[in-house]
Amino acid sequence: MLLPILLSLAALPSTLILWSAISLHSNLTKARSIGLPIFIRYITPTNPLWMAFGSSIVRLARRYNLATSNFSRFYLFGWDANERYHMHAELGDAFTLVSPGGNWIYVAEPKACWDILKRPRDFGRNLEQLKVLDVYGKNLSTTEGHEWQKHRKITAVTFTERNNELVWSSSLEQGQGMLRYWLERSPQPIRSVADDCKTFTLNVLAASLFSKPYPFEGQEEMKARHTSIENPSDDDSHQYRDSFSRILRGIILIAIFGGETLKTSSWMPKSWNQVGQAVQDFRSYVMTMIDEEREAVRHNRSTRKDLVSALVRASLAQKNEACISEQDIISNTFVYGFAGNDTTAITLAHTIMNLAAHPETQDWIREEIWDHCHDDTWPYATWSKLVRCQAVVMESLRLTHPLGSSSKLTKTTTTLTVNNTTYTLPPNSNVQVNFCGLHTNTNAWGTRAMDWDPARFIDANGQLRAFPEGVYVPWSHGERICPGKRFSQVELAAVLAVLFRGHGVEVVNEEGEGEEEARRRAERVSLDIQMSLLNEMWKPERVGLRWEEVE
């Protein structure tokens, strides 16, 4: 009686194991035929269960010293961002990761990466990974080929200097708000830097996408506001930003169920219904905004510099059949918001953490800020003079990249040359342009590749250094280059200028810890990555920061 039950219970995992072993074997055969070095990972990196729980298991095993060195290194979600060039140094500048659920080719060699990014016909976008962005229909970052080109044209008319001016001024304003908030709480260590940076970028986006400025609000104030208002949708002042933020937080749910189902299903938790409601609200806000802007353009009253108004003007300017529809405007707005929110916030959080660990770098950028930012207003053109601020951002992106890599998929049988050897890749091969490995490649960056040294980005003339092809490409390269590159550079230069002109940040010592130890701890925390949707600092609240005025 008991035996069949036990047998069938045992059958499930053993079938799984058998299936895994068979597919691993077949994937190994495929990988061997390519000829790149092979690394075997016994759990598929994209296994949803492992994505949900694997990282906790790895962290637990590490804590109690139960993990083998390979388990500890390669099984965390976001492991590649932590490995950086280390694994390539052992396995080669390109290798194939073989797992039961598929193979991934990791590339960290400048010439090969450049080659991949320049050949979008051979190395296409890995669209599977971007399905979540289809909330408002297929658009910019989720399309390819002809359809993509159309969207990319739209992008060209929206990411303009006119908009970047707005990015500059709103980043200055938001930066001041954030600094004020930190100073008010200054006797206590600030442990919310990563979250505050998200609020900062979200507000800058609201200002530059919709011309909706919001005052900066810290974590506590935000919670207080949410609990004091019975029905959040009555709170008119924050509706754009809050619905946008709610969508971004619920993006996985939306991808699974769709906005309409989430809104109307009574069996779902209330918070899920709210996500569905937010999808609808956001659509209607943007619709209203489009109508207002159309009206304004018709009466020659349009003065707005934001992205949505630029899209509306572009759609009105086209004489022939309306290429840019309302739907396109909404979906692109959403994709910009999605792509520009956390990427920039994560970069800023790393930058601040690293600056706290390196007071000498703070002095170094302050010198420059004093040269270019005087007491009066700071014109937009200032941003390009702040080369040291830009260098600090670049150094943060080099060591910790929010996306980690760019995923490509080969369309047909194609070749890739790595280190003078040419390999033939079959169709549908996953190829990862591994930014984290590439940017710490010791052949290109030297033995001090892992050290924090922003000055490496400045040449003898005090200008930003130009690098050989493929050595440094954090915003990608080629036709798929990030359209928000300038946007984020302007935003980050502005906020650094505001934060460090009159103030400095230091790491708060823990019990029994010296100043230098505290700084090294901040550095370690900054390099400890775990992936959620993007690569983020793991538990940044482990480091308390204190802001103080400098004389």
Binding residues for heme: 482
- Which region, judged by CB under 6 A, interacts with ligand HEM, from 35-43, 227-235, 402-410, 496-504? 402-410
Q: Among ligand HEM, ligand NAG, none, what binds residue 335 when CB lies within 5 to 8 Å by partner kind? A: ligand HEM
Residue 354 touching ligand HEM (CB under 6 A): no
Q: Which two tokens stand for residue 364?
A: 């170094």
Binding mask 14-53 for ligand NAG (x = CB under 6 A): -------------------------xx-------------
Closer residue to ligand NAG in complex, CB, 119/138: 138
Q: Which residue is nearest to ligand HEM (CB)?
A: 484
Residue 419 touching ligand NAG (CB under 6 A): yes
| From candidates 231, 377, 420, 447, binder to ligand NAG by CB under 6 A | 420
Strand 421-425 vs strand 414-418: parallel, antiparallel, or unpaired?
A: antiparallel
Residue 50 touching ligand HEM (CB under 6 A): no
Q: Which two tokens stand for residue 218?
A: 């810290």
Closer residue to ligand NAG in complex, CB, 270/299: 299
Task: Tell me which residue has tokens 């509706």.
Answer: 239
Q: Among ligand HEM, ligand NAG, none, what binds residue 482 when CB lies within 5 to 8 Å by partner kind? A: ligand HEM
Closer residue to ligand HEM in complex, CB, 216/272: 216
Side-by-side strand order, sheet with 123-125: 38-40, 94-99, 102-107, 430-434, 405-410, 123-125
Task: Tell me which residue has tokens 């500048």.
Answer: 93
Residue 147 touching ligand NAG (CB under 6 A): yes
Q: Among ligand HEM, ligand NAG, none, what binds residue 70 when CB lies within 5 to 8 Å by partner kind? A: ligand NAG
DSSP symbols for 175-186: HHHHHHHHHHTT
Angle of helix 161-184 relative to helix 307-317, nearest 10 degrees, comes to 160
CA distances from 306 to 134, 165, 265, 316 (A): 23, 10, 35, 16
Closer residue to ligand HEM in complex, CB, 223/485: 485
Residue 331 touching ligand NAG (CB under 6 A): yes
Instruction: Please tell me the distance from the alpha carbon of residue 84 to that of residue 442, in angstroms, as a whole number.
Output: 11
In three-state secondary structure terms, 89 is helix
Cβ contacts of residue 406 below 8 Å, gap of 6+? 117, 432, 433, 435, 476, 480
- Which region, judged by CB under 6 A, interacts with ligand HEM, from 309-317, 475-483, 498-506, 513-521? 475-483
Task: Tell me which residue has tokens 């830097």.
Answer: 193
Residue 368 touching ligand NAG (CB under 6 A): no
Q: Which residue is nearest to ligand NAG (CB)?
A: 137
Instruction: Please tell me the distance from the alpha carbon of residue 550 to that of residue 335, in angstroms, as a whole number.
Output: 40
Kindly report the backbone phi and psi dihedral angles of residue 384, in degrees, each rounded to the nearest multiple of 5, phi listed first. Answer: -75, -15
In three-state secondary structure terms, 213 is coil
- Minimum distance of ligand NAG from residue 326's CB (angstroms): 10
Residue 108 touching ligand HEM (CB under 6 A): no
Query: Applying CB under 6 A, which residues contact ligand NAG?
Result: 39-40, 70, 87, 90-93, 137-139, 143, 147, 299-300, 327-328, 331, 419-420
